Amino acid sequence: MDTTRMIKLAQQLVSINSESPPGREEDVAKYLREFMKNQGISCRSVGPSSRPNLLFSTHDGETGDLVLHGHMDTVPAGNIDQWSHDPFSGAIESGRLYGRGACDMKGPLATLAETLICYKEEKHKTPLLMLATSDEESGCSGAEEVAKSGILKGVTYGVCAEPTSLNVLVGEKGMLWTKILATGKSAHGSRPNEGINAIDLCMRATSLLLETEYASEPDDVMGEMTVNLGIMKGGVKINVVPSDCESHLDMRLVKGQTIEGIMGAMQQVLDDARLSDRVEIEYIHGKPAVITPRNSKIVERAVSSVESIVGLKSDMKAATYGTDCSVLQPKIGIINIICGPGSIEQAHQPNEFIEIEQMEHAVDVYLDIARQFVSEE
């Protein structure tokens, strides 16, 4: 492993702004592709040139059983005044790399690249793949492009390098985003009895939906469903009865729950409360929950590698957040685990950072996992 090479790559990736929205992965992809080309590693691109998805292979375009994957976009840096370092400087201090995307997930991407370089130098017969996607943060459309392309046909296993502090996760909760739209009747604020208050309607409907217990299957991997009221807005002026109001709900789904089933249950709540004539539920976005059996080959090998190299016994739970696994697993059939350097507590935060030592451990873990698949040659 060449730590200096890996850190320089991570710093350069952090320095290239790829905030999503609006989605600026093109320059990151260009740099990463050129960097890997200089290391003798081939690349194929899928999707639009402005938001490409890159598939690297240690064996000149050949595919194998295992793909390591991560994304090139980041969330916006937010208020720069809250950062102690320039979010695009890639500053290093006290063994940490700082910047937007340091742990989510340009630092992890650099560890994947270093893994492929080291693996290629070991001259194995079995190809090792690395996928770098666009638009993971805003809907996983890059992974959708990859799935449609068929470029990963025949690949059986995947390691998603999202930050888990190198704990092995065996799935992720599903996601359902909905908009609750209430339509009232405008009137002068001094005569509210002549109008129908949309904010009141929306508050009543939203409260009922938040209080509802949605059916699920008990599961020690996924845990319990969560619901968050993220947005509520309506009205135009203090002295006007509001005619429109909306709220946005973020639901994280667990075992036994489907998007269709939860949407149906939500509608039933409104029907039972006789709110359906003025309140409707609009689907925004959703992804299914995914889970990998704990006794699958990729789980057993990843857990073994992490324990032997880092000394960490993984709890093998599910991620509460979404990843590209929600597309690659159900739509291609790739059996995934999630395991990467950095803490998810740093993701999307000011002063985001990743420990350099953990990046080094990650390369050792990924190489060990890959070598276990080589033993089957």
Q: Tell whether 98 and 237 lie within a shared domain.
A: no
Shared domain check, 306 and 281 = no
Is 28 found in the same domain as 152? yes
Question: What distance in Å separates the CA atoms of residue 77 and residue 83, rounded to the nearest whole number?
Answer: 9
Query: Is 315 among the catalytic positions?
Result: no
How many whole angstroms from its chain centre is CA 329?
13
**Residues 156, 46 share a domain:** yes
pLDDT of residue 167: 96
19, 65, 136, 246: the catalytic one is 136
Per the document, the length of the chain is 377
Question: What are the pLDDT digits (tens) for 151-170?
Answer: 999 999 999 999 999 999 99
Domain match, 213 and 266 both: yes
- Asked if the model's pLDDT at residue 375 lies above 60, the reply is no
Q: Please tell me the predicted confidence (pLDDT) of residue 315.
A: 87
- Whether 241 and 297 share a structural domain: no
Encoded tokens for 377: 């040659």
The CA angle 47-284-206, to the nearest 5 degrees, is: 160
At residue 343 the predicted structure's pLDDT band, cuts being 50, 70 and 90, is very high
Q: What is the CATH number of the domain that holds 78?
A: 3.40.630.10
Task: Classify strands 353-355 and 96-98 as parallel, antiparallel or unpaired.
Answer: antiparallel
Task: Check whether 13 has a pLDDT greater than 90.
Answer: yes
Q: How many helices (H) and strands (E) does the chain have?
A: 9, 17
Can you give the residue range of the structural domain that contains 161?
A: 3-172+289-374
Please state, for a pLDDT cut of 90, what percent of the chain lies above it: 89
Q: Which of 19, 65, 73, 364 is catalytic?
A: 73
Q: Quick one: 14 and 140 in the same domain?
A: yes
For residue 89 the two structure tokens come to 């400087």
DSSP label of 35: H
DSSP state of 292: -
- Please tell me the predicted confidence (pLDDT) of residue 374: 83
Return the bridge partners of 54, or none.
45, 132
When pLDDT is cut at 50, 70 and 90, the band that residue 376 belongs to is low
Q: What percent of the chain has pLDDT over 70?
A: 99
Do 341 and 229 lie in one domain? The reply is no
Which CATH number fits the domain that encloses residue 192? 3.30.70.360
Mean pLDDT of all residues belonging to the chain: 94
- Asked if 283 and 301 sit in the same domain, the reply is no
In this structure, the answer to whether residues 196 and 263 fall within a common structural domain is yes
pTM: 0.88
Q: How many CB atoms lie within 10 A of CB 221?
A: 19
Contact between 307 and 345 (Cβ < 8 Å): no
Check whether residue 196 and residue 273 sit in a common domain: yes
pLDDT over 60 at 199, yes or no: yes
Query: Is residue 309's pLDDT more than 70?
Result: yes
Q: Is 244 a catalytic residue?
A: no
Distance between CA 24 and CA 59 in Å, rounded?
Answer: 29
Span 220-263, pLDDT tens digits? 899 899 999 999 999 999 999 999 999 999 999 999 999 999 99
The radius of gyration of the chain from alpha carbons, rounded to an integer in Å, stands at 23
Residue 377 has pLDDT above 70, yes or no: no
Cα angle value 47/51/55 (rounded, 5°)? 55
Residues 109 and 247 in one domain: no
The domain boundary residue, chosen from 228, 256, 287: 287
